[in-house]
Amino acid sequence: MRLNRLLKSRNLKVYTMELVIVILGISIAYQLNIINENRINNKLELNILKNLDKEIQINIAEFKSLEAYRKRITKDSDHFLYLIKNNSVSLDTANKYVFRLVQTSTPDLQQQATTSYLSSNYGSSNIELKNELLALQTYFQELLDLSEGYKDRKQQDYMGHLRTSVDFLERKVIDLGSIRSIEFKNIVWNMATDEYELNRLYDQASAQLVKVDSLITNIISEHN
């Protein structure tokens, strides 16, 4: 009887040890799996952030490439409007400014990586970056809407008004009558107003790009 009890006691200890070892093994395996998943997720997020950073840099470069044009078109709009208001438009000045103001430029903005990041689970782990990206998308949309609207208005109002007074193919002003009219002065005034609003939206979006770029740089450095 004592021998049976001793054997049973030893078996219980063995079973208990085996159970502890199994539970400990499962726990360690589970923790290692979590660590591995976190490592993989961090690597994936880092790749997404790097792609996002590349996109932001492309958009920053696009804005910089348009700076000279933005300054020139605003200056030309103001000067041409000044000449019209003061009845100082000659054939030479008309030929200089009429065709320069025909030009328009809509920024070629990249947003694929931004959209991809916002739709991923990583957007919820970096709330500040997510909010700033959403603000950036809003600024981009405002800029693109005004750019497209301005382009359409310039085509319809500006070029439409000059259709019988200007040879656009030969780039030559034929008659100054329509250029000296009140209607044309109002058209150019509206164009100058649009240019200033575009400048405001460009500056707003450009500042937001720099802000987002700084946030992404900080997050990437934390991952490395």
- Label residue 222 by pLDDT band (50, 70, 90): confident
Other Cβ atoms within 10 Å of 3 Cβ, number: 7
Residues 109 and 115: their CA atoms lie apart, in Å, by 12
Q: Long-range contacts made by residues 118-125, C-beta under 8 angstroms, separation at least 24?
A: 120/48, 122/45, 122/48, 122/49, 125/45
Residues 107 and 105: their CA atoms lie apart, in Å, by 6
- Label residue 7 by pLDDT band (50, 70, 90): very low
Average pLDDT of the chain to the nearest whole number: 86
Residues 155 and 96: their CA atoms lie apart, in Å, by 18
Residue 68 one-letter amino acid: A
**Is 9 or 140 the better-scoring residue by pLDDT?**
140
pTM confidence score: 0.81
Residues 94 and 80: their CA atoms lie apart, in Å, by 8
State both tokens at 34.
């979590």
